[in-house]
Amino acid sequence: MTNFGKSLTLKHIKLIIFDCDGVLIDSEILSKRVLLKMLNELGAKASGDYFDRHFLGHSYEHVSAKILEDYGVVLPKQFKDDYHQSLMQTFSKELVPTPELKVLLSQLKLPICVATSSSPERVKHALSVTELTDYFTNCVFTSSEVKRGKPAPDIFLHAAKKMGVPPEHCLVIEDSTAGITAAKAANMPVIKYAGASHLKNLRTEVSNVKDDAVTIHEWKQLFELAPSLISKD
């Protein structure tokens, strides 16, 4: 049995809310590569560590404001569309689900949904490319549907309301400090997934704020942590 080192009560969970990027799909390393290349071409020579610290789990609007604040670079009006197009092309060629995710999804006995900072178009494309669409039919919620993005709790509260489950009965699975902060603000238990490429090889904490969430590095560890979530059939 894995020793997770922290207490987490999951006996009353009725809904699992998944973040998308870096949790369902191994996308953050691709997003980093595409975005940093485009920023570098504009003179904003941000590092990979800077991306990890300031962009993971955040919206495009946050990224744009942070680049202006720290590098004095105003992203052109066309930048967002160009980035989106380049990223979608990269996703089509390289995007995959996180390791053994489909095994997990096929065994979960509770309702599931997605709550993400990605745009509706991006998450739809990502789920299609990775053949995850059928797992999340009519239960994908994006930050475009709420007033405030993560680390505000709005997207998780919105997802819980739409799914008809009280916040305290929802389990959030996130990879970023912004998402973990949002889940806690929503009064939802949260597990950090650190099995995607952008986190699994890191030796140091990259976030500015230490998150004390229980962390799993493989999906099979969720079976060990919360066997009640898994169907016996």
- CB-CB contact of 149 with 133 (8 Å): no
3-state DSSP call for residue 58? coil
* pLDDT tens digits along 179-223: 999 999 999 999 999 999 988 755 433 333 356 789 999 999 998
Continuous segment of H or E residues that includes residue 167: none
Rounded average pLDDT over 101-111: 94
Looking only at Cα atoms, what is the longest distance across the chain?
A: 57
Q: What is the pLDDT of residue 5?
A: 43
- CB-CB contact of 225 with 216 (8 Å): yes
CA separation for the pair 170, 14 (Å, rounded): 6
211: left (phi over 0), alpha (psi -120 to 50) or beta: beta
19 to 36, 78, 79, 232: CA distances (angstroms): 22, 27, 25, 25
Dihedral of alpha carbons 82, 88, 92, 93, sign: positive
Angle, alpha carbons 145-117-212 (nearest 5°): 120
Q: What is the pLDDT of residue 53?
A: 87
Q: Which residues form the catalytic set?
A: 19, 21
- Residue carrying structure tokens 């904490």: 205
Which sequence spans correspond to the domains of the chain?
15-26+95-229, 28-94
CA separation for the pair 169, 174 (Å, rounded): 16
CA separation for the pair 21, 99 (Å, rounded): 13
Does domain 28-94 sit in CATH 2.30.42.10? no
In the chain, DSSP finds a helix count (H) and a strand count (E) of 10, 6
Q: What is the pLDDT of residue 31?
A: 93
153 or 201: which carries more pLDDT confidence?
153
The two three-digit tokens of residue 12, written as one number: 């009353």
CB atoms within 10 A of CB 229: 17
Tell me what the pLDDT averaged over the chain comes to: 89
* pLDDT tens digits along 43-72: 999 998 899 888 887 888 889 999 999 999
CB atoms within 10 A of CB 93: 9
Read off the pTM. 0.86
CA separation for the pair 147, 50 (Å, rounded): 26
Domain 15-26+95-229 belongs to what architecture?
3-Layer(aba) Sandwich (3.40)
Nearest by Cα to 90 from 139, 21, 136, 137:
21
At residue 131, does pLDDT exceed 60? yes
Nearest by Cα to 69 from 52, 88, 54:
54
